[in-house]
A and B are shown apart, each in its own frame.
Chain A
Amino acid sequence: MDTFIQGLVQGLAIGGIYGLITMALTAVYSVTRLLNFAHGDLMVIAMYLALTGVRWLGVDPYLSILVIAPLMFGFGMVLFHLIFERVLRAHVLLVVQVTLGLGFVIQSALLMIFSANYQTVQSFLTGKKIVLGQIVFQATFLVAFVVSVVMALLFFWMLNRTTFGRKVRAVAEDPTAASLCGISVRWVQMIVFAGALGTLGIVGPLVAPVFIVEPTLGLHLTLVAFIVLILGGVTNFIGTFVAGVIIGLAEALGGLYMNPPEFAGILPYGIFILFLLVRPSGVLGR
């Protein structure tokens, strides 16, 4: 029973993070209709920044968020201006090529700088356990889960209760009508894109202590995010978070109970195919 609960906590934590990563992807998609295949790789940059902070500067990954998140936000503005804005009106295949290409550039750069070694990022919480009666779980997972839930709630609040959120929803629904209301569509797109990268700048260091960091991790994260995106119903943000948790739980519990455990890696894809067959509109529908 307690291994089940530990798996549950781990699954919830990873799933919450998946949900959050995908919400950032979904937000960008909803205002630009642009799928960013480098999304996961951009997050891995943030993880390596956290690694650098710990190794060479001795800054705890949680503390380094204060620097990495704004850095990624700024990087997002530059990237939008230099690359993404130029392909906004281009053919969808060009967008796929450009963002995939960017992903490979990032992977190769990380490989050159940090080598292909599997690395772990140590935080002051690493190895710390939280004991609740019979149940023991790692503090890093708990922190990741709590932060992802808080950030998802903040995101919903921003979207539904603030002026900027209203603008985002307007641009997502009808960019032309939004511009006739005096909204600068380009500005909203740029801030959402930068905000997505800023989110990755928080999430990256946050999960660096629970992931094994290596240069090709990004592609895996992008794939998972796309699965979660479709499972969640593409532009349904609540559905996205729920779908993220489902995939996270499938990975974690699959690892515990599948025999042989190597099959666990298939489980998210199996769930994905099942949903496509049975409920293509996503977990919550539309």
Chain B
Amino acid sequence: MLELKGLVAGYGGVRILHDVSLTVGATEMVALLGSNGVGKSTVMKTISGLLRSTEGSIKFEGREISRASPEDIVEAGLVLVPEGRRLFNGMSVQDNLLIGNTVRHALPRRKELLDKVFELFPVLALRRLQAAGTLSGGEQQMVAIGRALMAAPKLLMLDEPSLGLAPALTHQVFEALRVLNKEPLAILVVEQNVSIALAACERGYVLEDGSITVSDTAEAMRKDDGIRKAYLGM
């Protein structure tokens, strides 16, 4: 469904990504792992159109999207939950969710999608008129995921969903992602919390210095000595 081949990207002449190739299947949940500063967020920004790649290709459902604008990529069904959530803090929870519902194919399904989000995260129904900025970190992450779901994505991408969350909330977020994955919804998640990501995903990639160095099943990665030492602290 999503296929990156030999992706090269960076900021103002500084190369961050040297050679990134990865795939995500239509029903898969895939983790992109790596330590701080190796370019995980850059991969996400490049896929979602915030950053232009200089070489390589990004194909979504067979269509080349490496030159598409962020809004066209959302329209195509590829939606990113950005790092740090980036909610509209002054707006209510409901307005944040409705903002996510702007693409053409999702508009007629507004009511249905909203109900689905409230079913997945019941606490948001109670907070729907509260300003998003006043919610707890976990609730904000739920709004961010809910906002992305309002665009009726085919592939959901998340950049560090566990950032700033207590372990119990992180588990809750990943539990929700697994429920969504069963629908099915393809998911690509960037995580520094390797153990929880590998527990939830089927496959994983490891990004080091802007290149993919490991690609394997989550099962095999959990048993890999190198990964255990480097990322799981064992």
Which residues of A does B touch, CB under 8 Å? Answer: 163, 166-167, 169-170, 173-174, 176-185
Contacts and interface: CB of A to CB of B under 8 A. Distances in A.
A167 B71 CA distance: 13
Contacts of B147: 181
Given A169-B91, A173-B89, A184-B71, A178 B99 contact: yes
Contact of A177 (B75, B82, B90): B82
B103 A180 contact: no
B82 A166 contact: no
Contact of A180 (B80, B89, B95, B98): B80
B97 to A, nearest CB: 10
Interface in B71-100: 71, 74-75, 79-80, 82, 86-91, 95, 98-100
Which of A170, A177, A178, A182 counts the most B-chain CB atoms under 10 A from its CB? A182
B82 A180 contact: yes
Interface string B141-158: 000000100010000000
Given A179-B71, A184-B69, A167 B48 contact: no
A163 B98 contact: yes
Contacts of B88: 169-170, 173-174, 177
Nearest to A187: B71
20 contacts: A163-B98, A166-B98, A169-B90, A169-B95, A170-B88, A170-B91, A176-B86, A177-B82, A177-B86, A177-B87, A177-B88, A178-B99, A179-B50, A179-B71, A180-B74, A181-B99, A182-B79, A183-B99, A184-B69, A184-B71
Nearest to B84: A177
Going nearest first, the 6 A-B pairs with the smallest beta carbon separation are: A182-B74, A177-B86, A179-B70, A182-B103, A182-B102, A184-B71
Q: What is the predominant secondary structure among interface residues of chain B facing chain A?
A: loop
Contacts of B74: 180-182
B169 to A, nearest CB: 21
A180 B50 contact: yes
Contacts of B79: 180, 182
Contacts of B75: 182
Contacts of A173: 88-91
Contacts of B89: 173
Q: What is the predominant secondary structure among interface residues of chain A facing chain B?
A: helix
A170 B71 contact: no
A163 B102 contact: yes
Interface residues of B, number: 25
B225 to A, nearest CB: 38
Interface of B: 48-50, 69-71, 74-75, 79-80, 82, 86-91, 95, 98-100, 102-103, 147, 151
A278 B103 CA distance: 46
A167 B99 contact: yes
A113 to B, nearest CB: 41
Nearest to B144: A177
A228 B172 CA distance: 48
Nearest to B157: A180
A10 to B, nearest CB: 36
Given A174-B86, A180-B82, A181-B74, 9 more contacts: A163-B102, A169-B95, A173-B88, A177-B86, A178-B99, A179-B70, A181-B147, A182-B102, A184-B71
A85 to B, nearest CB: 14
A182 B151 contact: yes
Contact of B50 (A169, A176, A183): A176
Given A180-B80, A180-B82, A182-B151, A166 B99 contact: yes
A169 B91 CA distance: 8
A36 B95 CA distance: 29
Nearest to A182: B74
A82 B90 CA distance: 33
A167 B91 CA distance: 11
A180 B99 contact: no
A179 to B, nearest CB: 4
Nearest to B50: A176
A192 to B, nearest CB: 16
A178 B100 CA distance: 8
Given A169-B90, A173-B90, A181 B102 contact: yes
A45 to B, nearest CB: 33
Contact of B95 (A166, A179, A184, A185): A166
A163 B99 CA distance: 8
A273 B19 CA distance: 57
A167 B98 CA distance: 10
Given A177-B88, A180-B79, A182-B71, A170 B99 contact: yes
Contacts of A181: 74, 99-100, 102, 147, 151
